[in-house]
Chains A and B, each alone.
Chain A
Amino acid sequence: GAVVSQHPSWVICKSGTSVKIECRSLDFQATTMFWYRQFPKQSLMLMATSNEGSKATYEQGVEKDKFLINHASLTLSTLTVTSAHPEDSSFYICSARDLTGDSYNEQFFGPGTRLTVL
């Protein structure tokens, strides 16, 4: 299947700093990418849907000024956690949708990024 990468895999930062997480579709073009947040022993919570070349659509309760999403190309979306605080510590997972070939409309997931804010 298609491969989605995330970078970094883990990051520790000080409170008040900003952190950027990259999500790349390595062998397919993804017009749509999704960002999820996973709390310990809980499900994946959809944060936003990112469409290439347009503004992201945020789920209710997710602050768009806090979690900046940019999807500038068909293979890259970035999530920037601005002015991070300890409550932002979590596991962030991106997913990309493949609209071509045998994997039509399947969502592929990155390995996740663990963010720890001190």
Chain B
Amino acid sequence: SQTIHQWPATLVQPVGSPLSLECTVEGTSNPNLYWYRQAAGRGLQLLFYSVGIGQISSEVPQNLSASRPQDRQFILSSKKLLLSDSGFYLCAWSVSPRGGVGNQPQHFGDGTRLSIL
């Protein structure tokens, strides 16, 4: 069966410090990968998605970047964190659509609670 791992679970960082959150998926190959941010009282906001190694699409302009160095590894980074980067970050994966049959759900990790001081 497929599993998704995110770490760390919680992180407290000072303003201006760098960030690296990691996500890995097991039990599947060539998944679509996603980074979301979930803010209180708001729906999940898609930040980045990737359909393959080195292929990253950004959904919103921001202080963050993403990379996919391996098939099942997705990394969220920042060079200098802002107070507004605080939030709950979720990584997700879905089966890559093939031949038009791609209406698969996204499956989420347990998230990283990021607090910026």
A pairs with B: no
Interface residues of chain B, those whose CB is within 8 Å of chain A, are: none
